[in-house]
Structure 1
Amino acid sequence: MSYAILRTSKLKDKSKTTSAAEHNFRIRNQGNIDQSKSGENRLLFNPLNVDVSKAGGLTQAITSKYEDLEIKVRANAVFAQEFVITASPEFFENKEKGFIDTWADAQLEFMKQNFGDNVVICMQHNDERTPHLHFVLSTEEKRERTHKSGSKKMAFGLNARRWNPAFLKDLHTKHAEFNQSKGYDLKRGLEGSTATHRPVKEFYRDMERLEAEAGEARTWKGKAGKLSKMVATLADWLAEANPELSDATDRLKAKASVMSGGNPHAPEEMEKKGAGRSPQKL
């Protein structure tokens, strides 16, 4: 079973928010992007009508939202929050675009259920190695405030602190359960492990490593299959050369049939030792 992956990072000011928009809106050139597939990217959600042709469009839209809510943005406040949602690379292998788009629509549904009006925009990227979604959230929260006069009033203020490690831990669990309820074979990472939460800025390094490991695993899987055939052939030759070894060769062939790995150097070593020799030379 593949893993459901969710990462988050604080966009502490307007500058960082604009920088995120440059990537998400494909305004700056990046080496890891297949531009021939950029037309397959999707703007899934844009309730503020953000101008995605401009890097500053996202920051401007969020600023206007805060002004409409009469929020004063303090210097130490977190201006926005970014989430990235994806899955293990093998989850997307040999999947049609329709499957990936339906999966992406479900992730948007999950975020809207858990963050409501804080979801400002959602972009689906299909032009990188692994499909994924970028969500940018505004951080406002409506809560009761006490004025100097002692009177109390409901008002908006910025508060990203509520999305703390305990909240994110629970969110990871909900995310995996949600995907399973939608029929996706995705599981949560090990709960209670010593692994620390890794932010969006490390997302691409994680995915490149996972993709490399997946490619290596596919390579060794092919080599293991080759090795198992060689072992089975060798067992047949041994049985032909010495019928008294039939029990041993049967066990050898049984092991070959379930072989799924083993010494990664075994295929090369057997070839060097002449595993391809004829039965008469044994």
Structure 2
Amino acid sequence: MAYAIMRAKKLANMGSVAASMQHCYRERETHNADQERTPDNQHLGAKSTDEAMGKLRALLPEKRRKDAVLVVEYVMTASPEWFDKATPEQEKAFFQRSLQWLADKYGVDRIVTASIHRDEATPHLSAFVVPLTQDKRLSAKEFIGSRDKMRADQTSYAGCVADLGLERGIEGSKATHQTIQQHYAAVQLGVTPKATLSPKSLEPRVLEKAGFMAKTVLGRGDLVESPEMVAERLTKAVNDGFAGTIAMASTALQERRRAKELQDTANDLRKRLESIQEPFKGLTKAQVAEVLRVAMTFQVENKKAKKQSKVIRREQGRNVPDRGNSR
């Protein structure tokens, strides 16, 4: 199964907005991007961070709370295996539908800029949207302010791309709570742990060699890792090494939950069908057809009777004298 995935992040100051935009426009070093494929990226609405920030400033209201969310950054993508099989037309439709979903939710003029990235592990859309209400207030709360709203958005978004062969992820799954790029990059690593710890890796590493003056005049030796720094480095190595295993397990769990949901639905439908079929057991097709015809006739007559009863009650109400004026 392939899933439609959407993540929203609130940005409450200009610095964080600019930093995220610089990442999208590749104006700062992006380690997980393939520079040879960067020219395949597309930028819509603005061609640079400076241009996008100018559009943002023009859109923001002059009076706003200091802690107001300025921008909601969206990342919209799908399972890597879907992109592997998707035609160019399907991929184009996916990104068009994603942008249209944002336009329908916020208004097309609230989308400051959007970028389609094809130089990372999984193609995805990054969009920056101003949560501006119709009365010109910044209110991320009105758009994504609760878990129920976010769940409804996930369902709505998945619905708009469902005909492309994508489904909504399992509600409550934590598989995409890390960044989407990290999750699918981990899946692609496979399930073989890559972490190897040797006795030497437990030793503090030299961070900076002491120069001649530092040794002879100041009596200072090399700058080495503290025990806390060693622990942090080893923890990161272990986590990175098992990331592929964890991601694969998470994806497998989603598949099992989805299979159980489908099985439960099928069982429920079968029971309902059996309850409907029970009264007709032993009847011929002609007899069943006659029973259904009579039932439909009763239904039509019942509707007519109810309608006539309403008319009679309405007429009776008009003919009742006004007791307050009759003396």
Q: What TM-score bracket applies, with the shorter chain setting the length?
A: 0.5 to 0.7
Query: Of 88, 91, 99, which residue of structure 2 is paired with 1:100?
Result: 91
Distance 1:194 1:102 in 2: 26
Q: CA deviation at 1:89?
A: 0.8
Give the direction of change, closer, same or farther, for the CA distance of 1:179–1:5 in structure 2 (3 Å limit): same
Contact 2:6 2:76 in 1 (8 A): yes
Q: RMSD value over aligned CA atoms?
A: 2.4
Q: Establish whether residue 198 from structure 1 lines up as the match of residue 189 from structure 2.
A: no
Secondary structure at the aligned position of 2:127 is classed as: strand
Please identify which structure carries the higher helix content. 2
Rg larger for: 2
Contact 1:81 1:136 (8 Å CA) reproduced:
yes
- The structure whose RCO (Cα within 8 Å, separation 6+) is larger is 1
Aligned positions of 1:148-167 closer than 5 A: 155-162=135-142, 163-164=144-145, 165-167=147-149
Tell me, yes or no, if the aligned pair for 2:41 and 2:115 is still in contact at 8 Å: yes
Q: Does the CA contact (< 8 Å) of 2:122 and 2:181 recur in 1? A: no
TM-score by length of 1: 0.62
SS at match of 2:18: helix
The corresponding residue for 2:68 is 77
For 2:55, the aligned partner's letter is A
* Aligned residues of 1:71 and 1:156 also touching (Cα < 8 A): no
SS at match of 1:107: helix
The residue aligned with 2:16 is: 16
Structure 1 residue 178: Cα displacement: 1.1
Q: What percent identity do the matched residue pairs reach?
A: 25
The answer as to whether partners of 1:21 and 1:56 remain within 8 angstroms in 2 is: no
Q: Which has the higher strand share?
A: 1
Q: Which runs of 5+ in 2 are unaligned?
A: 193-243, 246-327
TM-score, normalised via structure 2 length: 0.54
Cα distance, 1:96 vs. partner? Answer: 4.2
Q: CA, structure 1 residues 41+19, in 2 after alignment: closer, same or farther (shift >3 Å)?
A: same
SS of 2:169 mapped into structure 1: coil
Distance in 2 separating the partners of 1:194 and 1:87: 15
Give 1:84 shift: 0.3
- The one-letter code sitting in structure 2 at the alignment partner of 1:14 is M
Rate the CA distance shift 1:110–1:203 in 2: closer, same or farther, 3 A.
Answer: same
- Residue 213 of structure 1 and its aligned partner are, at CA, apart by 4.1
Q: Deviations over 1:60-89 (max 9, x none)?
A: 2211112xxx44132111111100000011
- Separation of aligned partners in 1, 2:85 and 2:173: 33
The count of aligned residue pairs is: 191
Determine whether 1:3 maps to 2:24.
no
Please tell me the residue identity of whatever aligns with 2:91.
I
